[in-house]
Amino acid sequence: MVVAARIASIQLCPGHREPMRLVDAAILLKGVGLEGDKHASAASQRQVLLADKQDLDGLGLEPGTIKENLTIEGLAVMELEPGTRLRVGKRAVLEVNKVCEPCFRMDEIREGLRLQLDGRRGMMTTVVEGGPIQVGDPIAVLEREELVS
């Protein structure tokens, strides 16, 4: 069975070291990030952190545990090249920047998790086009032709 890429879960970080807050819907703000998220900043390359649900499941982790904003199902997040653009929902567009390296805080969540997440923590993205998103929304990798129009 082929699963179309979709948002499996949305999480917001309300503040430093606070637990992620699961939400059903959110607003992506162009050039900033997710409305209400601590990491939302025009200066940040980590406006929205994507993680692969399959990787989380394989590690026995719930969505939001590794501080990702969007948990993605049906798309190999770690195989996305920097510069790749993704349509999220009807009109929002994210651009992949780089791999999010696991930090020491991952070992605070669970001993050894930092090492387990090496190459699997997720991809940092910026918001190229804003818009509303919700759990279940489709995600599509945009082709070059779609970027021009």
- Looking at residue 19, its pLDDT comes to 87
Does the pLDDT at position 3 exceed 80?
A: no
Q: Where are the domains of the chain?
A: 6-137
Amino acid identity at 123:
M
Domain 6-137 fold = M1 Pyruvate Kinase; Domain 3 (2.40.33)
pLDDT, greater one: 132 or 46: 132
- Looking at residue 103, its pLDDT comes to 87
Quote the pTM value.
Answer: 0.90
- Looking at residue 144, its pLDDT comes to 59
- Looking at residue 148, its pLDDT comes to 46
Please say whether the beta carbons of 7 and 75 come within 8 A.
no
- 3-state DSSP: the chain helix, strand, coil percent, rounded to 5? 15, 35, 50
H or E element, residue 146: helix 144-148
Amino acid identity at 31:
G
pLDDT digit string, tens, across residues 69-127: 999 999 999 999 999 999 999 999 999 999 998 888 898 889 998 899 988 899 999 99
On average, the pLDDT of the chain sits at 91
Burial bucket for residue 129 (CB in 10 Å: 0-12, 13-18, 19+): middle
Which of 1-10, 38-47, 54-63 is the least confident region? Answer: 1-10
- Looking at residue 5, its pLDDT comes to 96
Gap between the Cα atoms of 54 and 62, Å rounded? 11
Report phi then psi at 72, rounded to 5: -110, 135
Give the Å distances, CA to CA, from 58 to 46, 117, 131.
24, 11, 31
- Looking at residue 146, its pLDDT comes to 52
Q: How many other CB atoms are found less than 10 A from the CB of residue 102?
A: 20
